[in-house]
Amino acid sequence: YPGDIFYLHLRLLERAAKSSSRLGEGSMTTLPIVDTQWGDVSVYIPTNLVSMIDGQIFLSANLFNARIKPAINVEISVSRVRFAAQIKAMKQLLKQSQSTPLTVAKQISIIYIETNGYLDSLEIGQLRKFPVELRTYLKTNKPQFQEIISSTQTFTEEVETLLKDTI
């Protein structure tokens, strides 16, 4: 490839993403699409584009042919903005100790209380304490919570009632 191909790609991305002051300025999403030969993403052009963008989705012909749709290869697809998109409270809430990973039931309880607004009034510093106390209470006083989720693998009305009664 000619030596200036990197420069040309970068100019195309900049041109596509910047609006003039006459048009109100701002930016828009650019979706560069690269067709690879035999799915080889390590060649020059795909590698070049990957270095310039905030993330990429790799589609797989093998997944498509296996009737898996959307045929996104999650092993090599990446987003560099995922952590920046999470607020501090969510990061604090979802932290797990390396030596004590959370069971599915415990994760469900945390996600439920967060998504239903039960933590909205808490300070960030309290966010680690409340879920721990909730999990301890559920384990001690409502053991059926864990049992139902483990046996059914679903979030039943009974499980939701147990959580609401506990909170």
Told to judge if 11 belongs to the known catalytic residues of this protein, a careful annotator would answer no
In this structure, what DSSP letter does residue 9 have? H
First to last CA, the chain: 62
The one-letter code for the residue type at 38 is W
Distance CA 104, CA 37 (A): 41
Long-range contacts from 96-104, C-beta under 8 angstroms, 24+ separation: 102/135, 103/146, 104/149, 104/150
Whether the CB-CB separation of 139 and 146 falls below 8 Å is answered with yes
Please tell me which residue in 11, 80, 82, 128 is annotated as part of the active site.
80
Distance CA 165, CA 167 (A): 6
Q: Enumerate the active-site residues.
A: 80
